[in-house]
């Protein structure tokens, strides 16, 4: 038997923009439609989860999962500044109710990368007004839906903008040094970006951005972030946390971070420590009072005396060009727990592959590591596989297959993979089929 104890979350995760479809008031939707876009294709209907969520939730429940992490889309709730959409709120109330009716704990994320277009026109995630704008949205959602929830993530991968900035600097340096070698890679950032195309199209995009957003350089959540922008993101988190605890003191609140298993080879200790400080440690003052931390890991990053290293020769790669390295999750959990002393939830972990047997093997190794951590006393409360569905992987489009469920996008028919039921087999029995 490899089941986890009753009460441990075994679930899958999604992001609204990647699965719902027709998120027409968001910054990402606007960027997808541009002539000079970094997106290989637009999201359009995505996988129509906005209309098919009940079917998707039932598939999770049938497979044995007991939790679902999904995001509420700010651009739907507040499509225009200060104007809230009651129908959108009701939609998410219905999703929450469907989770509970099917015995799944709803774990929501209030912001998963995409933002209202109007926020970006005001300066986006580099604007001093954004923390208060975010807090206003959070208050509205909590007042409407908070009584139905127990776990809330404020921001998904709050450190993503810092990671993108670091990789952008690295790629620019590589292009300057050897523009024709074809050796540059954006695979070290744990989301689907085409950074080289972003850099190459800067001039053309700037002019189009002025027409679309009113600014030449839109500061989206996943844009390369300044140090002040990083501080503003943490201010937004702290403001949201304060609102949640005021309105709904029963809710456990945290955020999620994108964390690599950063490994130092001889001579690379300093470089590795610098990256870990940038990726995790410097956030500790802002998250120390959180109830939990969402840990998101997909691969490792090695350092030697020259700094960050390329993937080892002959290593198995995923569709995202990440090194296949499921054992990284255990390493990251252990390292995080040295400094963060609240609960830990694996809010994302998974693999983009067309070979579902490799996904099953990935889950098996990752969860074996989680089990070892729990045996050693680490307060890990759940594991969410990324992702429930093959979906829209941001700038890389629909070609990345992260899902436990395939989707025939010509019909939107769901095709569960063996990995879905395999993940469900880890779910311990519970005394309550349905959640109150």
> Does a structural domain hold residue 436?
no
CA distances from 355 to 83, 393, 417 (A): 45, 18, 10
Using CA atoms, how far apart are residues 67 and 57, in angstroms rounded to an integer? 9
The Cα–Cα gap between 315 and 253 comes to: 38
CB atoms within 10 A of CB 344: 24
Contact status, residue 75 vs residue 115, Cβ threshold 8 Å: yes
Q: Is residue 38 part of a domain?
A: yes
User: Does residue 430 lie within any of the structural domains?
Assistant: no
Strand, helix or coil at 308?
strand
Token pair recorded at residue 194: 């085409």
Beta strands in 67-177, from DSSP E residues, in sequence order: 67-71, 105-111, 151-155
Q: Which two tokens stand for residue 296?
A: 């998101």
d(CA 379, CA 333): 10
Q: What is the CATH number of the domain that holds 314?
A: 3.20.20.80
**What pLDDT score does 413 carry?**
98
Cα–Cα dist 181/185, whole Å = 11
Per-residue tokens: 342? 């609240």
Bridge partner list, 253:
152
Structure tokens, 279: 């990726």
**Domain contains 2:** no
Total structural domains within the chain? 1
Distance between CA atoms of 155 and 203, rounded to whole angstroms? 30
**DSSP state, 283?**
G
Residue 195, pLDDT score: 59
What one-character-per-residue DSSP string does 376-392 give? Answer: TT--EEEEEEE-SB---
Structure tokens at 254: 């945290």
Q: Distance between alpha carbon 240 and the CA centroid of its chain, in Å?
A: 18
Taking residue 274's Cβ as centre, other Cβ atoms within 10 Å add up to 15
Of 221, 15, 34, 226, residue with least CA distance to 116: 221
pLDDT tens for the 436 residues of the chain, in order: 588 999 999 999 999 999 999 999 999 999 999 999 999 999 999 999 999 999 999 999 999 999 999 999 999 999 999 999 999 999 999 999 999 999 999 999 999 999 999 999 999 999 999 999 999 999 999 999 999 999 999 999 999 999 988 887 777 666 655 555 555 555 556 565 665 666 667 778 889 999 999 999 999 999 999 999 999 999 999 999 999 999 999 999 999 999 999 999 999 999 999 999 999 999 999 999 999 999 999 999 999 999 999 999 999 999 999 999 999 999 999 999 999 999 999 999 999 999 999 999 999 999 999 999 999 999 999 999 999 999 999 999 999 999 999 999 999 999 999 999 999 999 985 444 444 4
233 contacts 160 by C-beta, under 8 angstroms: no
User: What is residue 397's DSSP assignment?
Assistant: G
Global pTM value: 0.93
Domain that holds residue 211: 9-424
Tell me, what's the pLDDT at 434? 42
Closest CA to 130 of 140, 138, 119, 141: 119
In a domain, 215, yes or no: yes
CA angle at 99 for the pair 96 and 104, rounded to the nearest 5°: 130
DSSP E strand boundaries for 104-150: 105-111
How buried is 410 (Cβ within 10 angstroms: 0-12 exposed, 13-18 middle, 19+ buried)? exposed
Q: What is the pLDDT of residue 205?
A: 86
Q: How far apart are CA 374 and CA 371, in angstroms?
A: 5
Q: Give me the pLDDT at residue 172, please.
A: 65
Residue 241 CB contacts under 8 Å (≥ 6 apart), including other chains: 154, 253, 289, 290
- Please enumerate in sequence order all residues whose Cβ is within 8 A of that of 123, keeping only pairs 6 or more positions apart, or say none: 129, 130, 215, 219
For strands 307-308 and 343-348, give the pairing.
Answer: unpaired
Helix (H) or strand (E) holding 336: helix 328-337
Nearest to 284 by CA among 330, 334, 234: 234
Q: Is residue 432 part of a domain?
A: no
* Nearest residue to 32 (alpha-carbon basis) of 47, 18, 48: 18
Q: Is residue 4 part of a domain?
A: no
What DSSP element (H or E) covers 317?
none
> Is 396 a domain residue?
yes
Task: Compute the Cα dihedral for 431, 424, 261, 308 and give only its sign.
Answer: negative
d(CA 429, CA 238): 36
* 154 token code pair: 């404020």
């Amino acid at each position: 038997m490899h089941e986890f104890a009753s009460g441990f979350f075994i679930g899958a995760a999604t992001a609204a923009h990647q699965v719902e479809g027709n998120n027409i008031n968001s910054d990402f939707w606007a960027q997808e439609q541009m002539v000079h876009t970094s997106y290989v294709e637009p999201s359009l209907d995505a996988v129509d989860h906005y209309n098919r969520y009940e079917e998707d939730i039932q598939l999770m429940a049938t497979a044995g999962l007991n939790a679902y992490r999904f995001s509420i889309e700010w651009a739907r709730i507040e499509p225009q500044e200060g104007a809230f959409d009651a129908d959108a709120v009701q939609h998410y109330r219905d999703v929450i109710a469907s989770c509970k009716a099917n015995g799944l704990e709803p774990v929501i994320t209030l912001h998963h990368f995409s933002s209202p277009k109007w926020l970006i026109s005001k300066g986006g995630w580099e604007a001093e007004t954004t923390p208060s704008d975010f807090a206003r949205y959070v208050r509205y959602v909590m007042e409407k839906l908070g009584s139905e929830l127990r776990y809330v993530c404020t921001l998904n991968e709050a450190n993503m903008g810092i990671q993108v900035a670091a990789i952008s600097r690295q790629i620019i340096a590589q292009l300057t040094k050897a523009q024709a070698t074809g050796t540059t890679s954006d695979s070290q950032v744990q989301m689907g970006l085409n950074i080289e195309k972003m850099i190459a199209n800067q001039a053309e995009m700037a002019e189009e951005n002025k027409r679309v957003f009113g600014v030449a350089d839109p500061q989206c959540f996943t844009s390369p972030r300044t140090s002040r922008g990083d501080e503003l993101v943490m201010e937004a988190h702290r403001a949201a946390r304060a609102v949640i605890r005021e309105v709904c003191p029963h809710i456990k609140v945290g955020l999620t971070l994108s964390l690599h298993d950063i490994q130092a080879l001889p001579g690379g200790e300093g470089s590795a420590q610098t990256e870990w400080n940038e990726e995790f440690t410097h956030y500790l003052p802002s998250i120390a009072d959180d109830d939990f931390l969402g840990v998101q890991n997909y691969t490792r990053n090695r350092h030697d005396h020259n700094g960050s290293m390329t993937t080892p020769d002959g290593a198995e790669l995923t569709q995202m060009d990440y090194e296949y390295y499921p054992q990284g999750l255990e390493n990251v959990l252990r390292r995080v727990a040295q400094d963060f002393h609240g609960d830990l939830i694996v809010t994302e972990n998974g693999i983009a592959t067309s070979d579902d047997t490799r996904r099953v093997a990935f889950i098996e190794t990752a969860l074996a590591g989680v089990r070892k951590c729990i045996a050693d006393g680490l307060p890990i409360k759940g594991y969410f596989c990324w992702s429930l569905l093959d979906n829209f992987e941001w700038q890389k489009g629909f070609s990345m297959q992260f899902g436990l469920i395939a989707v025939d996008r010509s019909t939107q028919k769901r095709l569960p993979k063996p990995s879905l039921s395999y993940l469900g087999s880890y779910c311990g029995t519970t005394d309550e089929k349905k959640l109150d």
